[in-house]
Chains A and B, each alone.
Chain A
Amino acid sequence: MRFALVGQPNCGKSTLFNQVAGYKAATGNFSGTTVTFTETKVHVQGKVIELVDLPGTYSLLGTNPAERVVLDYLVSNMVDVIINVVDATHLAQGLTLTLELLELKRPTVLAINMMDEASRQGVHVDGEALSRFLQIPVLPIVATKGQGVRTVFSTAYTIGKDQTNAPRQLYSPELEEQIDHLKNLIAPVRLPIGSEALALKLLEGDPALIDQVGKKIKGAEAEIQKAVDTLCHITGRQAVWLVSKERHDLALQICEKVYKKTKKRLTLRDRLDDYLLHPFFGYVFLIAILFLFFWSVNKVGGVIEAPLIQLSDYLDARLLELIGSEGLFAQILSGALQGFMGGLAIVLPYLVPFLIGLGLLEDVGYLPRIAFLMDSLMHRMGLHGKAVVPFILGYGCNVTSIMSTRIMEEKRDRFLSALLSSMVPCSARMAIIFGLAAFYLGPVYGVGIYILNIVVIALTGRIISHYLPEDSPGLILEMPVYRFPTLRTVTAKAWLRIREFIVEAWPLLIVGSVLLAVMNHYHLAQITDVIFRPVTWLLNLPPQVGTPLIFGILRKELSLIMLGQALGSMDFSQVLTQVQMISYTIFVVFYIPCLATLVAIRKELGVKAMGAITAITLLVAVLSALIVRLVATPILG
């Protein structure tokens, strides 16, 4: 059996999903965290169930690629039970989608989420009355705490087994007449969504489905247009408008009967927003929050890094002393040690506090606030505030940020925010900034690089948007209420990425280091160094850093870990000047996205975009590193 989780943005589908699947889907307190579907297998009453978490959508007419995923999935996959998650505090909105889902006439369970938040706000939802009205099971849950989750799945299993199809609500007679008319016409088309739902989607003018039906039935397109015209003639409204309005009105009617608000909403959010969104103090808080965030990461990481680096160099020296430094075997062992210790000493100490901090910001609901404050700045680089989401996610991982560009409606916006957010230093490059520049030159340099990074991104955005003029309608984003993050979701979310580092990246770091040791032994690295020689020459870097830069495209951490191997010491102050450390860090921050990011760009935006982003970032990296080198040389000597 297959269950699908469907609901509006930020209603807690992924939180519910993670409750039963372990932490597999990303969650956060803002719209558009889930942009593609995640599938997993869960056990319900001893049976294996396929469970799919679909992106949040306001309706089944996708206005952006993330929302489109939902309709495409329901049209092409047989779903046995739809678990519709609705935010209790926004019941009327949620029910609009519920009514649309009921049109599919599949077994459906309605899970009313955030009952705890609702009771805090004085909201009461009469689940029994709602269940009687819609004739489907309605169950209260608190997904963050796992309350009621088990009942939802066992109920879903029961109605799935019995094939208890949910009935749909009837709309106005004029609309029903056209549904009936089209239903007969399209009877030969067999899709998992059923003929009445299909008829409605055709009336709403879904281009993909009209095309699909038109190919199967001759003259269907003309008939559909005729039905739309008839409706328009009778009601004076476009069908798509009429259908939305009827669903919404019906949802309001139902809501009136089952939804009560006894006291006015708590004003904590308004009071907090008075400070955090204040025209002046809002920015003070923004800078303070981000500063505190990066300062803590730097502090925690630095305390752990220092002794581990010493240990690493000590162990390496002892190892070579023990078995002699000349042989290939010794070089391989030393390479493996450096790869292992690099991950332990330079990456993990910064990665762990960073991910926990980012998780907190995501779950509290601060990201949309940043979007609000930064919208006008984003316009200056040719984007709007929604692009803040990929930007901030980019500080965690660029792959996630590329995926999240799907929440934008225009392709041009997606390309530009993909380009710019791929230059945001991800957690791997964060480790390089902190582990190299900030560690050896002082935290000021770390902060300086982050600021420079933002300036360069803004400039690049400005230049590129000059050639790609902005024509998007602008920002539309829902502002969520603040939520207290639970320890469980924050740590689980951090663990998801840390595990990815340990399982995928760390072994690669060790292999990369060993490979470089072998290449050094046979003097092969000199050949690969040549590829980046123009860059290393221009930036006055030792030629040996060319190979770490090439490997850095595979995994950004490699450009630091292999640097130790290439230069013969993890204590970089012995082998690089301060200017070299800065120009190297700056170059690494901007140049060519990592392989995983490139693949994501190709998937989302195509080969051309991937090529363009590769070329632009390389150019930006060379220019910024060169300028910094020229400016820093007289200062640092």
Chain B
Amino acid sequence: MNLLQVKNDIWVRVIGFRGGWGMQRHFMQIGFLPGNTARIIRTAPFHGPLLVEVDDREIVIGRKVARHILVEEIA
């Protein structure tokens, strides 16, 4: 599943990405490395972006971007 399908406050593990190299590199730079855990802290209203905690940082990512991040639930 992708990050957009995850509910708030649920910890998930990053497993991969969709999209080109430029985008993938950018994801890694901000801490979305495969294996890292992430959770959605809150979402902005009106179909706004997500505030995500990953790698001890808080990152704002748009919904379109979030769809490119593939994650799995931590059992």
Which of A's residues lie within 8 Å of B, judged by CB?
58-59, 61, 63, 89-90, 92-93, 205, 238, 240-241, 244-245, 248, 270, 273, 277, 279-280, 282, 368, 371-373, 375-377, 384-385, 409, 473-479
Contact = CB atoms under 8 A, between A and B. Distances in A.
Contacts of B60: 368, 371-372, 375, 385, 475-479
A475 B61 contact: yes
User: Which of A277, A282, A384, A476 has the largest number of chain B CB atoms within 10 A?
Assistant: A476
B59 to A, nearest CB: 6
B44 interface: yes
5 contacts: A63-B26, A90-B57, A277-B42, A282-B44, A473-B64
Contacts, number: 106
Contacts of A376: 44-49
Contacts of B6: none
Given A244-B25, A476-B30, A476-B60, 5 more contacts: A241-B21, A273-B51, A282-B44, A385-B49, A479-B57
Interface of B: 19, 21-26, 28-31, 33, 41-42, 44-49, 51, 55-65, 68
B44 to A, nearest CB: 6
B13 to A, nearest CB: 15
A476 B33 contact: no
B46 to A, nearest CB: 4
Contacts of A280: 45
B28 A474 contact: no
B55 to A, nearest CB: 7
A413 to B, nearest CB: 12
Nearest to B28: A244
Nearest to A8: B29
Contacts of B63: 474
B59 A479 contact: yes
B30 A248 contact: no
Contact of A59 (B22, B23, B24, B29): B29
A448 to B, nearest CB: 24
A89 B55 CA distance: 11
A377 B65 contact: no
A90 B56 contact: yes
A477 to B, nearest CB: 5
B24 A476 contact: no
Given A368-B60, A474-B63, A479 B51 contact: yes
Contact of B49 (A61, A372, A473): A372
A375 B65 contact: no
Contacts of A282: 44
B39 to A, nearest CB: 12
